[in-house]
Structure 1
């Protein structure tokens, strides 16, 4: 997952073997070190009480920072910035982008639910069910937040931001999808959606 975040940020802008080398370094060295800080009794857990149920920080943040490093090296897409003017570059196929987000949304149920790592008792089954429900509601919260914010800011709904806000909500709840109540999961996801919606124009500045 961390490597796929990098590939998404650098798609069509780097050579294949350069991306493979970057991916090998990330998955073979950087990610295992970061994951060991928390999972398996790492110092973040033992000394700081840090918790990351399914990898909101250890997977998605690590992938995001790696993608940022790659993007800084490669630079902006040609024509994106001309002086102080920002040229929007919308996706070429929104239905395909929406399909990709829905596939991710569905796959996230297994990603978070599987992180319970047990299904041998009724208690475990209930925990997995709670994780899946909270995951779904967080994604929905991110979508609703983006729908409202883009309607206010741009006077119209921006589908690309809404789709990204769904992923933002999913990433936000991944840190702890078991403990929150359903309404809390909605607000956690909405907060992720707000960060995405506000972050897009800030990055262009």
Structure 2
């Protein structure tokens, strides 16, 4: 269930919440696939692989304590809609759904189903863009400051530069572009309270 401790958040903080909910969802799926050998971290150097995995586990461990995942968000929103006779959600919940769906729609528009991608690189690129480049506040999530995003992303850049596999090099570059487009869409999405209509927003799967 959602943390009941009341925190005053601005809309820009809710955007960070939405981004972290998406990232937790992706990382949970990634770790499950790594554990079942459906996905393998392969940066060409074992020390790179170990550091990437260590940071993934560190991040996911903290996110599990701090935010919902996408599936939990969907369940809670459905519960809230069912218990309200007019089907309205509170503005913060409506804003959270809007921002979360924006993120999901953007990556879906850049990746076709079944297409190979590098989820952990996208995660680190998203956080680097949002926290380092956009200088968004991490006051609610101080653990995000403990990750060296530039160092981790530098491993993928090194891989792209040194690897003779041109397809892999293109894929590394594409992941950066996808992350940048996701952050751009999140930045440019604005929530406005509409008191005249019934909310029919749904969380994307």
TM normalised by structure 2 equals 0.28
Say which structure, 1 or 2, has more relative contact order (CA 8 Å, 6+ apart).
2
